[in-house]
Structure 1
């Protein structure tokens, strides 16, 4: 009798684990709708109801943390201070790691739009400081009585670029974490990277930071985890490489799985049915109504 009563009690109050909502992450803010990694893109993402802002950071010559996917000015989207488009030949010369931030903000990376994303609204915008982005977002949430969002921050790092277009891992990580920790608690952010050296360093030096392994190879979950040497909080592969058995394996190993970059509603729905914990998308407007 006591066992039956206990079971009924469990069923009524749910003894099972409470399911977390799907984590919809706006890739570079909302790159499909507004210029990537810009203040307008992040505000648009919030308008579309994302739960997490996904973004990238690089470092300037004067050690400022800038929100940018690339460590140089892209010819496809950026214009010089005189209004002329950056040429392909000039890209590598316009190395942000060799520029002070005062110079970086002279470049408009939004007015020309992006040929890959025809729906993107053309608007003049510059690469913002990470500190300014977080402050603006937090003020916006507070002023509009909106729920808190997460920040999934990618340290854009490539081993061959150490001391060329970026600092080495230790300095890079310290600069980024110094900005974040002044403004966010540990539960509000994750650090992601394709560079496993970054993740290994942070796992050892800052074990309380939640880490995300970005993956774009087809080596498989076990091989990538062996190369990493530990189990991160999140495994984030290119969505095309992901099948249900991988999702199940990732969960068995105690990780969440959040694939990138999913820009088709049907693909989103399939992945949700297969059990992903979230999706990273350029079009957060397409993810509305998705539920685990």
Structure 2
């Protein structure tokens, strides 16, 4: 506290995801991607590379496979650079049905994306069950953008594939896509998840943990495998000897430790009974 005012805002840390524009001519897209990979390799403020712009644009449709090959080519030369690719931001009526069958698959299997933005056309992908199983096994996370998908694609409620991803065990996070375009914020995205998708507190807790575990923050995770499961050996208990020093060396784990303390404080003040919210728990409130 300083002068009676909270300094919480001063704790906000910014990271950047470099984004190439998929509607430009191929040579320009490649130049943008090459610059983005080099930038992310050289500047730790840039945590990864993305490709965006309307996926149903004629140029984006025509060059989609080429773009994935470009990204794979550059990823092989910059293996430490992380990829979060907008893929599958499509629905019936926007593009011919054949173009609904491979965008997410190519982003995962050819480009090597660790995060998928939108992923709306998953049910139309060739052999969708096998693709979902792979994404669940490899923990390829899907960024769910409820407001954006409702406004831009008209996909909402039971038509949205959020429940499909969750039932398949694919990790998901909530995102705004673009606050300036959608006029939305993260609070509204969580509200929509509850009111439109039927998520409960246990679901939201898992999603907020996912947000840090699958982020591109540097360092090890607080969790050995999936968030909410077994903790890293150094911090099985927050009071364990050496835990503080280990957290100081791992930015991601330190952020997760702060989240766990915040969740514990929230639950102590707002929940009447303690909940067992471990991975696999069926408790819902």
Q: TM-score, normalised by structure 1?
A: 0.40
Q: TM-score, normalised by structure 2?
A: 0.41
Larger RCO, structure (CA 8 Å, separation 6 or more)? 1
Comparing both structures, which one devotes a greater share of its residues to helix? Answer: 2
